[in-house]
Amino acid sequence: MTTTSIAWNWGTNTDINFNAATDVLDFGWFAADQFTISEVNGTVVIAIPSNHQTYTLQHTTLSDLHLSNIVAKDASAISEWTTVLGSAPVVPPPPEPPVAPPITPPVVPPDSSAAAWSANTVYTAGMTATENGVTYKANWWTQGAGPAPTTASSAPGSRGPSSRRSMRRMTFRPCRPGSPPPERRAAPRP
């Protein structure tokens, strides 16, 4: 799509290789009494007589054009084009291409080799546990801290500031079957 701005350029005669199926003429604030529209030898000519200036739409007739080819800020310019084009059908611009819906990964049942999470079990980096139907992989050594993210206020047995810090940290990460394991980080020393 090419937009050609009609502008004041004293004494110029501009040839435009215009495609009526996609291109647009932008008249900005030109009023209808400042230009003329005609068809000469099978081509559209837009003249700005007071400026000794023309725009010629090569290989384009008035019957090829429609109002969707015209943009103007002055209502009289649109009115002039409506009159000149007469009963020419108004063809809307082509619709935007469809956007593909987001791809939702399939729901995969928990890893059958992962045991149910237990507060009494010691988990080391890479071990897996299942809680509420989600399989998690331990990021470091842990015992008693559940795999699902928690806050200090909701954690049972919270024992002060040091416990709150450890509870905010996620000791497990959810596993997605077929995805690479999460980065391994050095485990903090208790």
CATH 2.10.10.20 domain range(s) in the chain: 115-174
Q: Give the pLDDT confidence score for residue 80 in this predicted structure.
A: 92
Name beta bridge partners: 134.
131
Of residues 91 and 54, more confidence is placed in 54
The Cα angle at residue 106 between residues 101 and 112, in degrees rounded to 5? 170
Q: Is the pLDDT of residue 105 over 70?
A: no
pLDDT of res. 92: 56
Bridge partner residues of 55 (DSSP)? 14, 46
Statement: residue 11 has pLDDT above 60? yes
Which residue has 């139907």 as its token pair? 133
Query: How do residues 122-181 score in pLDDT, each as one tens digit?
Result: 888 888 888 877 888 888 888 887 776 654 444 444 444 333 333 334 455 665 555 555
The more confidently predicted of residues 186 and 33 is 33
CATH fold of 115-174 reads: Seminal Fluid Protein  PDC-109 (Domain B) (2.10.10)
- The residue-averaged pLDDT of 30-54 equals 93
Give the per-residue pLDDT at 50.
92
Tokens at 180, concatenated: 């690479």
